[in-house]
């Protein structure tokens, strides 16, 4: 068991790389714990400034012509939003902010983030992957007024999209059975050791 104090003292950046802004993408299916963990990572960042970007908020910006993001018809919309989010994250990072992005960013939406790597940004891509049944149970347990997805069948479909990520399997963190603290600690250790780097 990792203490809260130990978690807070764990640096998120590689040795010798302190002061360099980092962009972290926490991905995975609904119910994986992305939002909770991204918020904690931002609050506990060793950087003097840090931002938590909740990608679901960007979808709420669309007031006309919005398409549910899990539908095939949303492909163009999702691509535009991914590009806008990556540009925003880059602006924060240039300003010296560590950026923690949480959202459903599969390999099909990774292109604008890889472009940031080619521009010299330190981008980490961590995919949280609890078991499908865990995802479904968490989504169903959400409060009706949470505004978050509560349809277990949709969550299961999206979980299957993360079942085999090919070259990005190295970026996966299997989290079934882990507490929030255990997953948080594993992410911090991974970031310090250079794991999850987006190539």
- The pTM of the full predicted model, rounded to 2 decimals, is 0.85
pLDDT, one tens digit per residue, over 147-163 is 787 888 888 998 999 99
In whole angstroms, give the CA distance from residue 61 to residue 56.
Answer: 9
Angle between helices 180-192 and 34-43 (to 10 degrees): 60
Task: Please give the structure tokens belonging to residue 12.
Answer: 């998120």
115 CB-near residues (< 8 Å, 6+ apart): 86
Instruction: For the domain covering 4-192, report its CATH number.
Output: 3.40.50.300
User: What is the C-alpha end-to-end distance of the chain, expressed in Å?
Assistant: 32
Percent of the chain clearing pLDDT 90 (strictly above): 70
Most confident of 58-62, 96-100, 192-196: 96-100
Angle between helices 132-140 and 152-161 (to 10 degrees): 150
């Amino acid at each position: 068991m990792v203490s809260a104090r130990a978690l807070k003292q764990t640096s998120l950046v590689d040795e010798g790389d302190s002061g360099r802004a980092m962009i972290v993408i926490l991905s995975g299916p609904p119910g994986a714990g992305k939002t909770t963990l991204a918020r904690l990572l931002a609050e506990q960042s060793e950087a003097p400034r840090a931002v938590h970007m909740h990608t679901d908020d960007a979808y709420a910006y669309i007031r006309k012509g919005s398409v549910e993001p899990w539908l095939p018809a949303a492909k163009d919309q999702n691509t535009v939003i991914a590009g806008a989010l990556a540009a925003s994250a880059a602006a924060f990072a240039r300003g010296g902010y560590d950026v923690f992005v949480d959202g459903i960013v599969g390999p099909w939406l990774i292109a604008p983030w890889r472009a940031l790597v080619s521009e010299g940004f330190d981008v980490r891509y961590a995919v949280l992957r609890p078991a499908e049944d865990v995802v479904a149970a968490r989504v169903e347990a959400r409060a009706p007024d949470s505004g978050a997805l509560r349809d277990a069948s949709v969550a299961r479909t999206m979980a299957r999209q993360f079942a085999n990520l090919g070259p990005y399997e190295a970026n996966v963190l299997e989290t079934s059975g882990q507490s929030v603290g255990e997953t948080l600690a594993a992410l911090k250790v991974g970031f310090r050791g250079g794991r999850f780097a987006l190539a």
